Structure formats: structure tokens, C-alpha cells
A and B are shown apart, each in its own frame.
Chain A
């Protein structure tokens, strides 16, 4: 009888350990994937934000126009600046668009961010789900006209390509006020 109880007991304990180790495996796997996604998402966000900061802060550089921003809506900006400092004024634009063939993502909210430089357009699949630019005038109110723009706030959300086991996507939110020197100082 005692031996039978030992066998039953060890069977129960062994089963519990097996279930725990299986559960641990799931948790570790989920945890690992989540940390991986978080890292990739954040790296994507940092790369894009640096690019935006560098480009947008140069708006108007060497441009002869008093209003170098030619298109300025919430998800689309086009401006003139000598981005590469080669003496020739370039046309640069950023805008978003839906995912297209060749750019796969499980995340249904993902969209593409486009950077156009002198009509050469590059699509960036960086997990962007939200991209918004707000323009401000000299007193900090929202600019009504392109020639009133003095600064801007760029905000974006970047989400992971894959969700965690519980279908939650990793998300990084970034926003930055950008005050291009062209609007801040008088160049002659």
C-alpha cells in the first residue's frame, strides 16, 4: 500500500514538475520574443527619429526662398534645403503610405514611411503606425499658412512586427520639437 502511494505521489509530483517546466518554457519563450521585439522596435524608432531630426533641422539651408516648406500637412512635408552641403538646394519630402507588396508585416497597423530626396523615393518599413507633424508660428500657435511656420512637432509610434504570445505589440512613442535654424535666425 505504501509503495503504491509512493508511486502515485511521485507521479503527481513529476507531472507537476513537467507542467511547470513546460509553462516556464512558454514564459521564457514569450519573454525572449518580447524583449527581442522591444529592442528591434526601439532601434527602428531611433534610426528614423535621428534621420528626421537631421533632415528637418536643415529646412531652408541655402534656400533662396523665404518659405522653403512647400507642403506642410500632418503626414506629409516637402521642403527645400541643401541637405548634403554640396552647394545645390535639394528637394526633400517625408510622407506615409499603406503597406505594399514586397513589404510584409503581421501587424495590421503598420504603414510605410517614405523619404524622397530630389525625386528619388525610398520606402522605409520600420514598423511605423502613426506619424504626425504639427506646425507652429512665431508665437507658438498652430501655423495657418506655410510662410508662417517657425517650428514643428514631429510625433510617431513605431510598433513591433510580431506580437508577443498574448498578441500585444511592442510600441515606442517618440516626439520632438524641431526648430530649424532657417526660421530662428536671419540669414543674408
Chain B
């Protein structure tokens, strides 16, 4: 009887033990399941944090490519690499990040581009107002070019970059009529791959953008046109960086021309509201071999440069020019030209301009903006264009 009792107790203990073990295993599995879910969430947080750290590093130092190797963070680790690559003929940076927490992994890939092409550049000549008269009979080429001058012409010839350009003309006006037989070319971006269209008259309608879309309105100031914080252009010009100049009078410009001091860096012509017309009453010239970022602006957005030229007719301005208003463009421009006013000249013609060219060059623009973009205050979103961010 005693042995039977013992057997009963032992049997019950075994059954209960097995049951407890089974239930315990399931409880462990429940906890483990939750921990795995949490690990995935932590790995995602690590990944996002690492990406933001890298973007901040990159915005402070655009040449930083070191990345991170097994960086400990939030109980896990993260590794990040950076590589330069060319996508659609543009230099991009790819950031790849792999983050691990326990046994869970999250990887992501981010592609960014430095904000080197100002938002105002839609075409070789971009304007808010009508351009029917302003372009005259000159050559307007929205195809992309390098900074190499093949021939001073006329018309001047620049080395092309195939399939990477923009419109020839972009206007906020609903129509564009090529009234003075200008030769206009550009790149058709509505097809894949993009197709270049050589300057011609009559021009192909695909090289003209009318009623240009501006979600936040056409830029009202040069800084807005550049996509930079308000006051930055003037501040950099006044700092004298890279040969920058801050000019307020026609006499100052004339002395630069006479002394043959080319414009470089940022030239900010801060026109007085009391005398917004820079017309024939002075030389109306800019120094030979000028380039950089040229701004001609008045706070009232009414600064008007009527007839601009070089002392040497065949010269080329290499860079981006932003005017409140301009007419009689008797210079070659390799880069881009933007006109901010809605009140462009519509009541006059500008004949005899067939020996001048405005050619788009992203390389020249980037050479000039690239120096200043890292100085833009604020976070990485001010300095980079986010192309994609994919998380596995």
C-alpha cells in the first residue's frame, strides 16, 4: 500500500512537472516572440539614427566618406558606408546602413544629391514674365555643357554634355512667341532617355516651358532663387570670399571694368530704390573674363539693367546671373540666366544680337554653387536633395 501511494505521488509529480515544463516553454516562446519584435523595432531606430548622424556629418563635411563600422548604439550595432555614384549624369552619394539588434537586422539605402543646381534654373533663361522680346535673335541653348569653350564664335560654341540639359526658355507667362527669330534648343525630358534638341528657328516647342509651375510662387529674391536662406548672398558677397564683391553704384562697377578686375565668387549689386535703372548713362559693362554668381537686385525688385556687355565682345560670363530685370543681353553666358520680375520688357525689340549665346552648363553652375552650399546654415535638408530612402 505504501509503495502504491509513493508511485501515485511520483506519477503525479512527473505529470505535473512535464506540464509545467511545457507551459514554461510556451511562456518563454511568447516572451521571445515579443523580444524579437522589439529587437526589430530597436534595429529600425538604430538604423534611422545612424542615417541621420551620417547626414549631419556629411552636411558639415561634404567630403566625408569614412562611414561607421559596428558603431554601438541602443544595445545594438550599426555599420554605414558612403559611395559616390553617377545617376542620370548627376553626382550622387549612396549611403548604405545595416543595423543589428540581437538577431534582427534592418538595412536601408539612401541616395542624396548636393543642392548645387538652384531651384530657379528651369532653362538656360528662366523668367517669371514674358520673354518674347527679351531673347531677341540670339542663340539660347538649354542643352547641357561643360565649362570648355570650343570657339568664341560668333556664335560661341561650348562643349556639350549629351542628354542632360533643361529647357531653352522657361517663362511664367502662358505663351511664348519667338518674335525675333531666336535660335532655341534644349533637352526634351519627357522621353527616356532624354533627347537633346539643337538650337534652331523655328524652335521645337519642346524646348520652351510656358506657365512654369512654381508650387511656392516664382522666387521673389535672389536668395529664394538660389534656394538659400534670405540674406546669405549679400552676406557672402560682403565677406569677400573667393573674390566676392558687394557693389552699390554704377561707378564701382565702372572702375572694375576700367581696371580690368574680373568678377568672381559672388557679385551682389545692391541697387538703390532711388536709382533702379542702369541704362546708357554709364558704360553698362562688366569686366572681361567675369564669372561666378552675379546678382543685380533692388529690394523693390525693380532693378533694371538695360544693355549689358563686355569690353571685349567675344567674352563669356561663366556662372549664373540673376537680375530683377534685364534687356539687351549683349554677352555670352555659360551657365544660366534668371529674371525675377513679372514685368519683363514687352514693348521693344532688341535686334543685332545674333552673335551672342546663352548656354546652359550644370558644371559651371555647380562649380560656383558648390563652394557655398556647405556654408548654408541649418540641417542636412538645407544642403541635400533627398532622392530616395529605402528600408528593407
Contacts and interface: CB of A to CB of B under 8 A. Distances in A.
Contacts of A185: 381, 386, 389
A160 interface: no
A188 B386 contact: yes
Contacts of A62: 388
B2 to A, nearest CB: 13
A49 interface: yes
A188 B386 CA distance: 6
Interface centre among A24, A35, A38, A62 (most CB of B within 10 A): A35
Question: Interface size bucket, B side?
Answer: 20 to 34
Nearest to A43: B33
A39 B30 contact: yes
A31 B26 CA distance: 11
A85 interface: yes
A186 B8 contact: no
Interface string B381-392: 100011111110
A32 B20 CA distance: 9
B75 to A, nearest CB: 19
A62 B33 CA distance: 33
Main secondary structure of the interface of B (DSSP, over half): helix
B19 A38 contact: no
Nearest to B109: A85
A80 B40 CA distance: 24
A173 to B, nearest CB: 13
B214 interface: no
A50 B33 CA distance: 12
B33 A35 contact: no
Contacts of A38: 26, 30
B4 to A, nearest CB: 10
A130 interface: no
A32 B22 CA distance: 8
B23 interface: yes
B36 interface: yes
Nearest to B29: A39
B64 interface: no
Contact of A35 (B12, B26, B386, B388): B26
A42 B391 CA distance: 25
A4 interface: no
Given A35-B27, A58-B391, A187-B386, A50 B37 contact: yes
Contacts of A50: 37, 40
Interface in B1-58: 8, 12, 15-16, 19, 22-23, 26-27, 29-30, 33-34, 36-37, 40
Interface in A21-58: 21, 24, 28, 31-32, 35-36, 38-39, 42-43, 46, 49-50, 54, 57-58
Contacts of A39: 26, 29-30, 33
A11 B353 CA distance: 123
Nearest to B34: A42
Interface string B269-287: 0000000000000000000
Nearest to A10: B1
Interface string A53-79: 010011001100000000000000000
Interface of B: 8, 12, 15-16, 19, 22-23, 26-27, 29-30, 33-34, 36-37, 40, 381, 385-391
Interface of A: 17, 21, 24, 28, 31-32, 35-36, 38-39, 42-43, 46, 49-50, 54, 57-58, 61-62, 85, 181, 185-188
Closest 7 CB pairs of A and B: A35-B26, A28-B19, A188-B385, A46-B37, A181-B389, A35-B23, A39-B26
